[in-house]
Structure 1
Amino acid sequence: MSPHHTILVVVPDDDLRRSIIFALESEGFGLSVTSQLPALSDCPQVSAVDCIVVDENAIDVRSGGWERLGSLGRPAILLIDTLREIPPEFAHTAVMKPLLGSSLVDAVANSLAAGALRQAT
């Protein structure tokens, strides 16, 4: 992958976050990393990212987490490990944990390609 793509990684679990950092950096992605889903106004680096990888455990439904994720305006990959109801307005990609093989890297690449296609049209 091209190093000009930057991914925002939002994962509260330290071990999972380190694993994702390793996987994405080894593919050449630039990263911005946090443990909590930021509000757009609290995260000026969002304008510099091309895609967001967010763990389901970082989304606080009571404080408007789904709305906050939608307001970031970037393709998102949701990491899930339990079957749960995902709001219909979340029109992005979901990847099951544990992350096996290249599932996360493939999802990021597909999201970036889809975003580039949308921008070209």
Structure 2
Amino acid sequence: MLVIAPDYGLRRSLEFALEVEGFAVLSFDDVNAALASPGTAAGSCVVVDEEALLNDPLAMAAVRRFHKAVLLLVDRSRSMPDILGVRVLRKPILGNALITAIRLTDQSAGTGQPT
């Protein structure tokens, strides 16, 4: 499981929530750092906070280069167009919404095999 979030607190919170559920997690503060890491080949899903995409118009195209299911975390106040192949989850994330969304986004995560 890859997590990309510029905000350290959010990134650590996502890591913790995913690790508690048994997922192996690699986390990064930006898309380019994640792309440069050799460890990103593992895992089948990318959880991306929209803040990682805001200052780079090519960031979403870069996220697609992972060739993995994408779960995009967005602020409730912003409207987000539907993007093919991307599941959108609105923040704040309550309860088990993150894990449910991951399992819906990535079918292999739903099989009970943590990534």
TM-score interval, normalised by the smaller of the two chains: 0.7 to 0.9
Quick one: structure 1 residues 60 and 42, their matched pair in 2 at CA, closer, same or farther if it must change by over 3 Å? farther
Alignment match of 2:78 (pick from 83, 97, 101): 83
The residue number in structure 1 matching 2:47 is: 53
Q: 1:115 to 1:25 in 2, by over 3 A?
A: closer
Q: Which moved more, 1:53-62 or 1:36-45?
A: 36-45
CA–CA distance in structure 2, aligned partners of residues 74 and 38 of structure 1:
16
Question: Does the C-alpha gap of structure 1 residues 91 and 61 become closer, same or farther in structure 2, counting only changes over 3 Å?
Answer: farther
- Structure 1 residues 26 and 115 mapped into 2: Cα distance closer, same or farther (>3 Å)? closer
2:68 is the counterpart of 1:71: no
Q: CA RMSD in A?
A: 2.4
* Contact persistence 1:40–1:68 (CA under 8 A): no
Number of equivalenced pairs: 110
Unaligned runs of 5+ in 2: none
AA aligned opposite 1:42: A
TM-score normalised by structure 2 residue count? 0.81
- Aligned match for 1:27, one of 21, 27, 37: 21
Deviations 1:73-102 (A, max 9, x none): 10010000032343x544211101011011
More helix by share: 1
Query: If you compute each CA radius of gyration, which structure gives the higher value, 1 or 2?
Result: 1
Q: Partner of 1:109: helix, strand, or coil?
A: helix
The SS at the match of 1:77 is strand
1:112 Cα deviation after fit: 2.3
Aligned to 2:93: 99
Using the aligned pairs only, state the percent identity: 30
Q: What amino acid does structure 2 have at the position aligned with 1:49?
A: G
Kindly provide the amino acid, as one letter, of the partner of residue 6 in structure 2.
P
The answer to whether the Cα contact below 8 Å between 1:40 and 1:71 also exists between their aligned partners in 2 is: no
Extract structure 1 runs of 4+ deviating beyond 4 A.
Answer: 114-117
